[in-house]
A and B are shown apart, each in its own frame.
Chain A
Amino acid sequence: MKETSERIDQQRRAFIATAAGGAAATVVPGVLLYTVAGAEPRSEPVTSAVRWGMLIDTAKCADGCSACVTACDEENGLNLQQKPEGESEEKWERQKSVWIRKVRVRDNLSGHISNLPLMCQHCEHPPCVDVCPTGASFKRADGIVLVDRHTCIGCRYCMLACPYKARSFIHERVESKLSRVPRGKGCVESCTLCVQRRDDGEASTACADACAREGHKAIVFGDIKDSESPLSRRLASMATRQIREDLALNTGVRYSNV
């Protein structure tokens, strides 16, 4: 009896050793991948120690310039959108996704004209998050308001609820999309503050970079909670406001000179 159990024990030991070795061999390449890839792609969950935001100085926003829109389209694969065959151009303009748009306004009293880009304002109390029936529309810990496209059922209630008409619904099959920005038919989407850049360790959003490249520097992106960041310093140095501030949404995107 004892002999038999000893033999079984040894066999079991051998098995466990092989399994442990196999498991180690499996894990090692992954560990090496982590090491070599470097710290840039995010490996720790986001926290609320950071809150991303933007300041848009409309006095610097140039009339007729749409560099921010073009940059956003390229960064997020929106320039790959294709009008479905058989649809009129006019209708396609009204159905295609737009994450950021240029708006020109004139004051009724003074006639003063302002130009500004308008996108999801990443509110602290987002109405779109409140109304989403499945919780697909959510606010990330670092303040970015996103749509979880795995959970979105495409009811478009958030589009109804957004005070800035910032959201778009994808009306057509998406044939071409970027690896870092998945998007597909039947879900709702909006500006993500270039979340793929946030999670890849890049400093700024596509629109802010493009505006700086054009020389206008109307868009400043940064961490609102860091009082030393360029964004916070600019916010502290001038009068800024939220669009539709009476709604008290505490938006992450602020505007000056409008």
Chain B
Amino acid sequence: MANAVIRGSLLSVGLAGALCALAAQAAGDSHVVPGSRAATLEHCVAPTPFMRRNHMELLLHQRDITVHTGVVSTKYSIVDCVACHVSYTGEHKPIPINGEGQFCDTCHEDAAVQMDCFECHATVPVPAPKNGVAGDPHGGLVRDAVALSGSVLHPEGPEEGNRP
């Protein structure tokens, strides 16, 4: 009798815990950092679960194409990933994307996967100067601004007429 009670309670606690974990998974599960452009968007360039699992494959494939054939106009560009997912301070200064608590860190810290992309790649959008005039690091990339301002993805947040 006592055994049955103990086993029963253990089982219910276990099930409850599992349900809670699943609920937590489903509910506050976004790793997108508030203040980034990505926070205002429905999903990434592909559905979120797909991106979570396969973003590395996309990047590995795309980087060879970009370096060897020069194709830079692609939705899998790491430059655009950074531009979209980087968040900003109150004074609209970009925070390095691989910083603690920032976008990459929120998953990579838990997954214990070290990434070395940002040993070489810029952690905030940094345009090159044009004609001897220094570029504005706060302004984001020229291409990025043109692309996103003209698309249906409204920077202020999803509105009725602005969804695809």
Q: Within 8 Å by CB, do A and B touch in the complex? A: yes
Partner-B contacts on A (CB < 8 A):
22, 25-26, 28-30, 32-34, 36-38, 40-46, 71, 74-77, 138, 140-142, 146, 148-150, 173-174, 176-187, 195-196, 198-200, 209-210, 213
Q: What 6 A-B pairs are tightest by C-beta distance, nearest first?
A: A184-B120, A45-B69, A36-B150, A184-B119, A41-B73, A43-B73
B129 beta carbon closer than 8 Å to chain A: yes
In the complex, which residues of chain B have a beta carbon less than 8 angstroms from the beta carbon of A196? 72, 128
Q: Name which residue of chain A comes closest to B45, CB basis.
A: A30
Most buried by A among B65, B120, B127, B150: B120
**Complex interface: chain B residues within 8 A of A76 (CB):** 128
B142: min CB distance to chain A, Å: 9
Instruction: Scan B40-63; emit 1 where CB is below 8 A from any A CB, else 0.
Output: 000101110000000000000001
A180 touches B147 (CB 8 A): no
Q: Could you tell me if A74 and B126 are in contact, using CB atoms closer than 8 angstroms? A: no
B28 CB within 8 Å of chain A = no
Q: Write the B117-151 contact mask toward A (1 if CB under 8 angstroms, else 0).
A: 00111100111110110100000010100111011
Return chain B residues, CB-CB under 8 Å to A28. Answer: 164
Given contacts A74-B128, A181-B128, A210-B132, contact A37 B143 (CB under 8 A): yes
Asked if B161 is at the interface (CB within 8 A of a chain A CB), the reply is: no
Interface SS, B side: loop
Q: Report Cα–Cα, A142/B70, bound state, in Å.
A: 10
Q: Verify B73–A185 contact, CB threshold 8 A.
A: no
- B122 and A182 contacting across the interface, CB-CB below 8 Å: yes
CB-CB under 8 A for A177 and B75, given A26-B47, A29-B151: no
User: B41: shortest Cβ distance to chain A, in Å?
Assistant: 9
Q: Are A183 and B120 in contact (CB under 8 A)?
A: yes
Q: How large is the interface on B (under 10, 10 to 19, 20 to 34, 35 or more residues)?
A: 35 or more
Complex Cα distance, B98 from A126, in Å, reads: 37
CB-based contact B132/A213 at 8 Å: yes
Closest chain B residue, CB of each to CB of A202: B130
Residues of chain A within 8 A of B122, CB atoms compared: 176-179, 182
Task: Give Cα distance in the complex from A35 to B65, angstroms.
Answer: 20
**For B132, what are the chain A residues with a Cβ–Cβ distance below 8 Å?**
71, 74, 210, 213
Chain B residues within an 8 Å CB radius of A210: 132
Asked if residues B73 and A177 are in contact (CB atoms below 8 Å), the reply is no
Q: A33-B148, A42-B70, A180-B79 are in contact. List 19 more A-B contacts (CB 8 A).
A: A26-B47, A28-B164, A36-B150, A37-B143, A38-B146, A41-B143, A42-B71, A42-B72, A46-B69, A74-B129, A177-B120, A178-B128, A179-B83, A181-B128, A182-B120, A182-B121, A196-B128, A199-B70, A209-B131
B38 within 8 A of A: no
Q: Which residues of A contact B120 (CB under 8 A)?
A: 149, 174, 177, 182-184, 187
CB distance from B86 to the nearest CB of A (A): 11
Of residues 79 through 127 on chain B, the ones whose CB sits less than 8 Å from some CB of chain A are 79, 82-83, 116, 119-122, 125-127
Q: Closest residue to A136 on the B side, CB-wise? A: B67
